[in-house]
């Protein structure tokens, strides 16, 4: 278990050693977070196309797959003319 010591009780050599350990810990933390940021950036770049496609689909089209754009009228299913896909045809 770690022992609690007042900084005032430490000698100059011990303080210098403690300072070096703290600086090394800070450098290690900076390096860790730099690697973490680089990793997360790469992961975000990998999933960005899928997220953009999903967003486009929610907006009413998928320009990357040629499904139209939000400004175009909704396409109809070949079996049910003039009826948007996913909408049941009203038949009397």
Which residue is listed with tokens 């007042």?
A: 6
Is residue 83 scored above 60 in pLDDT?
Answer: no
pLDDT for res 60: 78
What pLDDT is attached to residue 29?
96
For residues 86 and 49, give the distance between their C-alpha atoms in angstroms, rounded to a whole number: 25
**Domains of the chain by residue range:** 20-58
Q: Per the confidence metrics, is the pTM higher than 0.85? A: no
In the predicted structure, residue 82 carries a pLDDT above the cut 60: no
Which residues, 6+ apart, have CB-to-CB distance to 77 below 8 Å? 83, 84, 85
Contact of 69 with 57, CB cutoff 8 Å:
no
pLDDT of residue 59: 85
Q: Identify whether the C-beta of residue 50 lies closer than 8 Å to the C-beta of residue 44.
A: no
Q: pLDDT per residue over 12-58, tens digit each?
A: 999 999 999 999 999 999 999 999 999 999 999 999 999 999 988 88
Length of the chain equals: 92
């Amino acid at each position: 278990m770690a022992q609690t010591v007042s900084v005032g009780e430490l000698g100059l050599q011990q303080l210098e050693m403690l300072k070096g350990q703290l600086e090394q810990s800070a450098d290690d933390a900076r390096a860790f977070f730099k690697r973490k940021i680089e990793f997360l950036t790469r992961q975000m770049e990998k999933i960005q196309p899928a997220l953009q496609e999903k967003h486009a689909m929610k907006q009413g089209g998928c320009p990357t797959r040629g499904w139209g754009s939000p400004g175009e009228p909704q396409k109809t299913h070949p079996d049910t003319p003039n009826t948007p896909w996913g909408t049941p045809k009203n038949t009397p």
